[in-house]
Amino acid sequence: MKKYLLEDFKREISQIKDYIKHIQQVNDLVEIEVPSAAIFQKFKNHFISFKTDKKVFEYKAIIISLYGLLEKYIELWIKDYLDELSRLISYDKLPEIIRKSHFEFSLKLINIVIQGRLDKYSHLKKEDILKKLNNCIENSLNYGLNVDAFTIQSGNLKHNRIEEIFKSIDIIIGEKLIKNAELNMLIGVSQDRIKNLESSVLFGKINELVERRNTIAHGATIDDLLGLSELNPYIDFLEKYCIAIFDVLEEKIIENQTIQKYEKINLVDVYNKSIIAFSIENYEIKIGDWVIIKIAEQNNERFYKKEIKSVGKEGRNDYVELKIKEKTNVAIGIDNQESLPITKSCTFYLENKKETL
């Protein structure tokens, strides 16, 4: 998964937070009495006359912007995920539900393109969609998915619709999200209760955000205008919700990389949750390579990919690279700022690049 897409999301939601701070500072400013400042008094008079309409406009702008982020980045991340997946797995080895969805959605996408119903797909040609679809069948090893086809159902993105989209790419997203610690803190439900609650309760703030966006989009009267402080919980929840979704997709890619391109290493020991000792032979290892760590957490397996920061053997840890021919014990260092529970009970994988040295 492309990290910059996550950083773009964080930057855009931060801009909305800054916009709210700006509005609040302007609101606070007009409370200050400056009798001698004629220009300021003129502004203050305008502010007072515009105050009600200003609140409505700001509310609409923020709600529409928040929903726009939700739809934009769900689509971008799903397409990025499918692109990554197609580079890892041959078409015939993809989960059946993805292949089935790809075929059905591609046919629907062709129809949308022919009819010209949606501007968001105006850059696509029906011939190219058909060509990709055919190539998946004819050339299973070298193919590309019609990733846009998986987003044709992405309008009005309440949580249940998001669940449907993720189901089409073989991910039960609700089960994954309730295991995210930061999101759980905002949901505020204990682990023994969370599995028994409906998704409409757990992710109600996302559904309400979509409902508020729909009210604005349809021009209906807004009966329950939210103030600036009342908007903050929705922004915080959306931020954690979307980051959790990105994490799910990224971890799923790492899991597939583990299966397709990595091999389990013969572990010797783990020190300070950041030094991994193991034995290898006929292998070249260097700083900048990656190690994948599988951690079993309460009947749940999590996959993490960490860059190798140091390489050592026989008491030295300042090697840039090592070319190991005969079976040798080596140690690698990783950055574990998150304090992941990395112990000997974890499973470790290195990229499958063995060669005769």
pLDDT of residue 197: 74
pLDDT of residue 165: 94
Q: Which residue intervals of the chain are DSSP H helices?
A: 3-29, 38-88, 96-115, 126-138, 159-167, 173-177, 181-187, 191-194, 199-202, 204-217, 228-261
- CATH code of 265-351, in short, is 2.40.30.10
Residues 157, 210: contact at Cβ < 8 Å? yes
pLDDT of residue 202: 87
Bridge partners (DSSP) of residue 310 are 333
Burial of 228 (0-12, 13-18, 19+ CB in 10 A): middle
Domain boundary assignment for the chain: 3-259, 265-351
Provide block-wise average pLDDT over 10 residues at a time, the chain (357 residues): 93 91 78 63 63 80 95 96 95 95 95 85 91 88 92 83 95 90 80 71 91 91 86 94 96 95 94 94 94 87 94 89 92 92 95 68
DSSP structure class, residue 226: P
pLDDT of residue 83: 96
Q: What is the dihedral of CA 128, 133, 134, 139, to 10 degrees?
A: 110
Q: Tokens for 258?
A: 């583990």
Separation CA 41–CA 33 (nearest Å): 9
